[in-house]
């Protein structure tokens, strides 16, 4: 729903959160008091208690009614489950839909779990079709069927369209709130047409010019409407060479267009060039933020966003796949060390030094991969310059090997006074850094070529290689050269 | 400069990049041919060579002239230094300014290094004051002095204002291109006023209503201007309860407001409530993107963004601080192991198992920290719920310790058939996971309390703790209980 929330902006939501928490605590206190009072005879106290209780809830209800849905969503996210559901009960039913859209996936699940089918249907029916599509994966099938039935034929078509795209396609960011005009009318006519609206859809910075068969012809920025004389024709002011998105394009590509050209809205056309929808900057901002968040989460080995108040069990499950994977690679590295146990028994210093070899190469390889992944995401790498990047990264690894391997060698010499051990340590670090750089380069490039997101999973493989590789190179060299 | 680049949108910049690379290669080829031809007598060939050479350059020049500055910036980023400077020479001087604003810091440095003071001054003078402020840190002082002199008094004031904020303050995102109106006029008058503009500033979705002393009173969305009758007064349609930013606020806070309320522009007021500027969604998008990028780079231990074609030496320096820091923590961990060398000599299996204890706790602690940092950034953690989060994370660590510690214990038993060793391994993993969870919680919370960005540096400290702590707990328990 594109309602305007003029009277609901708030400069500091965190204050509101504290207010809600405060009211909830008072309320809980009163509830405890009221509970105690129901058992003894003090009827008067009981009544006061109940009134007080009611007063706090009413106060809370008023506060919530005055807040923007996005702010209520924020408050819901920051409250533990029981308080969250208390607040959710107090929210007016006609705002359920817009709030469900705003909360994170994890929290949405916890809210939807408490709602009846009727409540869910009502909430969904408050929304635009593209918003219903966002909500659909979390709704029971029966509810979706009812919602679908309640829509007009055009809306059903839109909903089908919106639901048919993966979350990283332009189609998933698209809405259908575009204002279209013909090019054979004057600005005067356009102005009169606009005045028939109660309000224009949010983020309407330009009108889309189409012909009578809905083929997209260009855009008319509102600015041009405002600064030009009413007698001028739309066709005199239309901009035809504008960015056109396609619903199958990658959303990331659309995001880069928005960033690059500072867009507020952009038309989406189908293969034949018919206008099917538009993308606005607010969904692009949400997309950019959620992508960067999921990159962060993936890097740390979290499958998805966590509701910070989800049960221990649920959170643990979110983290287990990664830990299990890492345990496997750790077992493998452990077996690599295990094959050199004889050597270690003779020279225990090797055990003390081997984590240095593995660790530094892991860090350096991670730096390489990050640079490559970023350059791939920006489209800066193509066949013409890939070779140059590879030789550069190898040169850096070589330099790092000499410098930091040298430092580590000196450190080992001071401790163990064995020149051979120092040379082996330096050599092993140099080799492992080169191995790490190669892996750091080739893994994301290979993943990209296989059509996978190079940001996901690169780091586990990388650490496995620099750990096991480092142990093998260092202990192997020692076994070979120190004859142990 | 807020010029419109209508005819310059491009759907696939990467194609243009390949075109440029192709032309540059042809050009280089012709240059080599021309060089060879200058020595022998074949005057005719020489001439053809030179003509060809010129033709390619002209073609390249035309291509560049047709591109949006942001696209030229992209192409410059993707070219190695020598080709980059060839292309930069071909760009028309009157576009230097807008392109310098678009390129990344690292690449901007390489371009500015080749420009004379006069060229730099001309480039800067093409820009708006807020853009000059962005460029200022890279310009020689003498150039900045000349630029400053060329500005009007009002512009000097704006430049001083814009340069006075740290990069993460709202003031640094602010521009001064706002259109203001009074509230005692009709829409008719406003429309006539707007028609006097050649064009409105980009991202003007609302007009700012001020009184005669520039005190901010509210906003008039262009939409309201369009859908209402010309006879209505601004004061009937003004929205007074709107979001107001302050130039000293954190930019991140403004970004969250833009996200939450789907804004396109927002007014910036000073302490007295006077309108001083505005923030638009495009600078917010750039800010969000650059923050998430620098978070990524910091996580991987890169001080700043790298020009992928910078020299090996320069890139290495960017990566050294982190590697040096990690080497120090690795040395420390090595010394922890070193104190148990006697034990390891007797039971070499310890050396093979100890990386498991350190690694899994490191991963799990990293998951905890990522969740906490994210929740802190969203403002979801306050005293009322912090304790709950701490006990939850400790519970997860306990669960992980039992499950994955148990699995690791079983793995060790299969290999070494020592029940005591297995129990020690499981116990050490449990303890180290708890230690990691505590550190993962407390480090970001402490950094936040000290007013530092918890995303920077948390992971080095964390890994140092789970590595050294893991080695100490595991080897210490073994020394104690296995009497070795």
Local confidence band at B42 (pLDDT 50, 70, 90 cut-offs): very low
Q: Is the pLDDT of residue A63 over 50?
A: yes
Can you tell me whether residue B307 is helix, strand or coil?
A: coil
Q: What's the mean pLDDT in A462-481?
A: 95
Q: CB-based contact (8 Å) between A35 and chain B?
A: no
Interface of A with B in 111-170 (CB under 8 A): none
Q: What is the pLDDT of residues A122-158, one digit of tens each?
A: 999 889 999 999 888 889 999 999 999 999 999 999 9
- pLDDT above 80: residue A41: no
Distance from the Cα of B366 to chain A's closest Cα (Å) equals: 6
Q: Give residue B36's pLDDT.
A: 45
pLDDT at position B268 over 50: yes
Residue A39 has pLDDT above 70, yes or no: no
Query: pLDDT digit string (tens) for B190-246?
Result: 999 999 998 899 999 999 999 999 999 999 999 999 999 999 999 999 999 888 999
pLDDT at position B18 over 50? yes
At residue B293, the pLDDT reads 85
Query: pTM value?
Result: 0.85
Flag if A395 and B295 touch (Cβ within 8 Å). Answer: no
Percentage of chain B beyond pLDDT 90 is 52
**In the predicted model, what is the mean pLDDT of residues B415-435?**
96
Residues of A in contact with B358 (CB under 8 A): 355
8 Å CB contact of A345 and B342: no
Q: For residue A56, what are its two tokens?
A: 């706090």
For residues B34-57, average pLDDT? 52
B interface mutation test: which of A308, A374, A395 has the most B CBs within 10 A?
Answer: A308
Give the model's pLDDT for residue A36.
Answer: 45
Query: Is the Cβ of B81 closer than 8 Å to some Cβ of chain A?
Result: no
Instruction: Determine, for residues A222 and B226 on separate chains, whether the beta-carbon distance falls below 8 Å.
Output: yes
Judged against a pLDDT cut of 60, whether residue B3 lies above it is answered with no
CB < 8 Å from B in window 311-350 of A: 312-313, 315-316, 319-320, 322-324, 326-327, 330-331, 333-335, 337-338, 341-342, 344-345, 348-350
Question: Which stretch of A384-398, A408-422, B359-373, B395-409 has the lowest confidence by average pLDDT?
Answer: A384-398
A209, A220, A234 from A231: Cα distances, Å: 18, 15, 10
pLDDT(A45) > 70: no
pLDDT score for A44: 42
Query: Does A296 sit within 8 Å of B374, measured CB to CB?
Result: yes
Angle, helices A69-78/A81-90, rounded to nearest 10 degrees: 150
Can you tell me the mean pLDDT for B274-278? 94
Q: How large is the average pLDDT for residues A70-74?
A: 89
Q: What is the mean pLDDT of chain B?
A: 87
Q: Quick one: pLDDT at residue B10?
A: 64
Q: Which of B18, B202, B331 minimises the CB distance to A382? A: B18
Residue B305: its pLDDT value, please?
78
Give the pLDDT confidence of A340-366 residue by residue, as tens digits. Answer: 999 999 999 999 999 999 999 999 999
The residue-averaged pLDDT of B284-306 equals: 85
Distance from CA of B31 to the nearest CA of A (A): 19
B366 contact residues in A (CB cutoff 8 A) = 300-301
For residue B224, what is the nearest residue in chain A, using CA coordinates? A199
Give me chain A's average pLDDT, please.
87
Note whether A74 contacts B378, CB cutoff 8 Å. yes
Q: Does B239 touch chain A (CB under 8 A)?
A: yes
Partner-chain residue, chosen from A289, A323, A360, that has the shortest CB–CB distance to B323: A360
Return the DSSP state at B215.
B
**Domains along chain B?**
6-169 (1.25.60.10), 180-299 (3.10.580.10), 312-481 (1.10.357.20)
pLDDT value of residue A4:
42
Predicted local distance difference test score (pLDDT) of residue A262: 92
Per-residue pLDDT at A357 = 96
pLDDT digits (tens, 9 = 90+) for B76-93: 888 888 888 888 988 888
d(CA A125, CA A147): 6
Q: pLDDT band at residue B451, thresholds of 50, 70 and 90?
A: confident
Instruction: Write out chain A residues lying below 8 Å of B128, CB-based.
Output: none
Higher-scoring residue by pLDDT: A425, B456: A425
């Amino acid at each position: 729903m594109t309602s305007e929330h003029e009277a609901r902006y708030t400069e500091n939501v965190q204050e509101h959160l504290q207010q809600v928490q405060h009211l909830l605590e008072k309320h809980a206190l009163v509830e405890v008091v009221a509970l105690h009072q129901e058992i003894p005879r003090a009827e008067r106290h009981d009544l006061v208690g109940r009134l007080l209780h009611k007063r706090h809830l009413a106060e809370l209800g008023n506060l919530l009614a005055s807040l923007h849905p996005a702010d209520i969503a924020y408050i819901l996210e920051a409250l533990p489950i029981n308080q969250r559901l208390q607040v959710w009960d107090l929210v007016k039913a006609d705002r359920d839909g817009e709030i469900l859209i705003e909360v994170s996936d994890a929290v949405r699940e916890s809210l939807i779990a408490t709602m009846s089918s009727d409540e869910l249907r009502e909430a969904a029916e408050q929304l635009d079709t593209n918003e219903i599509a966002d909500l659909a994966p979390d709704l029971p099938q029966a509810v979706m069927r009812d919602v679908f039935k309640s829509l007009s034929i055009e809306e059903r078509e839109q909903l089908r369209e919106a639901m048919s795209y993966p979350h990283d396609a332009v189609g998933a960011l698209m809405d259908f709130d575009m204002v279209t005009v013909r090019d054979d009318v004057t600005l005067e006519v356009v102005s009169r047409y606009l005045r028939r609206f109660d309000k224009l859809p949010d983020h309407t910075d330009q009108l889309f010019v189409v012909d009578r068969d809905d083929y997209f012809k260009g855009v008319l920025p509102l600015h041009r409407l405002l600064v030009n004389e009413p007698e001028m024709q739309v066709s005199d002011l239309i901009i035809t060479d504008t960015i056109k998105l396609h619903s199958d394009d990658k959303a990331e590509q659309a995001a880069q267009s928005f960033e690059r050209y500072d867009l507020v809205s952009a038309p989406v056309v189908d293969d034949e060039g018919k206008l099917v929808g538009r993308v606005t900057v607010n969904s692009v901002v949400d997309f950019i933020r959620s992508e960067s968040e999921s990159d962060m989460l993936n890097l740390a080995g979290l499958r998805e966003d966590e509701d910070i108040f989800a049960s221990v069990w649920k959170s643990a499950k979110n983290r287990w796949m990664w830990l299990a994977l890492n345990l496997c690679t750790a077992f493998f590295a452990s077996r690599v060390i295990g094959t050199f146990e004889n050597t270690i028994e003779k020279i225990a210093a090797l055990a003390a030094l081997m984590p240095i070899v593995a660790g530094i190469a892991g860090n350096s390889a991670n730096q390489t991969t990050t640079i490559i992944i970023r350059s791939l995401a920006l489209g800066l790498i193509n066949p013409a310059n890939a070779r140059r990047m590879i030789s550069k990264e190898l040169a850096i690894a070589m330099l790092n090997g000499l410098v930091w391997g040298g430092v580590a060698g000196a450190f080992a010499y001071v401790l163990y006074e064995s020149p051979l051990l120092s040379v082996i340590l330096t050599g092993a670090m140099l080799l492992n850094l080169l191995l790490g750089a190669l892996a750091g380069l080739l893994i994301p490039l290979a993943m990209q070529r296989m059509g996978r997101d190079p940001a996901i999973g690169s780091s586990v493989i990388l650490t496995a290689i620099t750990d096991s590789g480092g142990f093998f190179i260092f202990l192997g060299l020692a076994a070979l050269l120190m004859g142990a």
